Structure 1
């Protein structure tokens, strides 16, 4: 009878400790999204991929790539999670790792929101201003009608990228708030 009591007590303690661990640990689920959109050529589809890797908020990296329809990587950017957390709105409390983790997963999940795909990149009536680092590219995009993509680097920085047909590479054509 004593053995049964001790065995039952051990099982209860083991179950209770497992429940505590579940509450305190962060659930990790890798974010990995792929979709195709017209980007470097209006007649073909390029592949956009976003992947969030890392198990701790401080180590998370958001990998963003674009691969042409021909299979060539035309753009790659690795955004460090700690940089994204440090460049966020100061009114958002991200002092706890759990909140940082949730914030970074939200950024990754929303990365391919429909309004980030700009079709076309530059509207015919738009005028290049001081936020356009390459005015010639801006004007070329207006004429070609190629599409663009925007993504956020922090609370006040959005990068707008598009294919530069002259230089055959992806470039920033607008950088703003």
Structure 2
């Protein structure tokens, strides 16, 4: 009887060790998959392609920063925005279960994957039949985009807020042209 109990205890110990190891491997796999993404799209010019890049830096969600940049076709960096993982996680805490680090890593991986999704590229940024409203910070820039036909890009700041950006040929910089709720 004692032998059976010892074997049972040994089997349970091996099972527990294997199960605990899978969780660690899962977290390591998630960290390896937190690579950056790059997309080439016409943005500051209607014909030439700019480089959109998003990279996640850091090992733990508490230290992570998602870095978004746009580099023009001539090599000049025209936009740079950093998002702290803690801020992104905080913005979704009420709607998602993000208490465990594994869930946080999964969320950050999903955010990274969706950031440069095709639906976020707006061609053109503003169509002829669209009109500026209360969520338009600069009506002159909005009208410039209508005339130029340049493309736009949108990204989420939170579960409820999206920011739309585009290249201003007059100001020679990327600026927001719309910010609103989803």
Answer yes or no: same fold by TM over 0.5: yes
- Determine helix, strand or coil for the equivalent of 1:71: coil
- The alignment status of 1:171 with 2:180, answered yes or no, reads no
Match of 1:120 among 120, 124, 135: 124
1:100 corresponds to 2:104: yes
Q: In the alignment, what sits opposite 2:148?
A: 144
Q: For residue 178 of structure 2, give the secondary structure of its aligned residue in structure 1.
A: strand
C-alpha distance in structure 1 between counterparts of 2:24 and 2:35, whole Å: 21
The separation in 2 between residues aligned to 1:104 and 1:169, in whole angstroms, is 28
Contact 1:89–1:155 (CA under 8 A) maintained in structure 2: no
Deviation at 1:55, TM superposition (A): 1.2
Alignment RMSD: 1.9
Gaps of 5+ in 1: 1-12
Aligned with 2:38: secondary structure?
Answer: strand
Which of the residues 60, 63, 74 maps onto 2:64? 60
* Alpha-carbon contact 1:67-1:75 (below 8 Å) kept: yes
Which 5+ residue runs of structure 2 have no aligned equivalent?
Answer: 1-12
The two structures have a TM-score, normalised by structure 1, of 0.87
Cα offset, 1:142, TM superposition: 0.7
Q: In the alignment, which of 149, 159, 165 is matched to residue 163 of structure 2?
A: 159
Matches within 5 A, 1:9-88: 17=17, 20-24=20-24, 26-27=27-28, 28-29=31-32, 30-88=34-92
How many equivalent residue pairs?
165
Q: Which range is displaced more, 85-94 or 61-70?
A: 85-94
TM-score (norm 2): 0.85
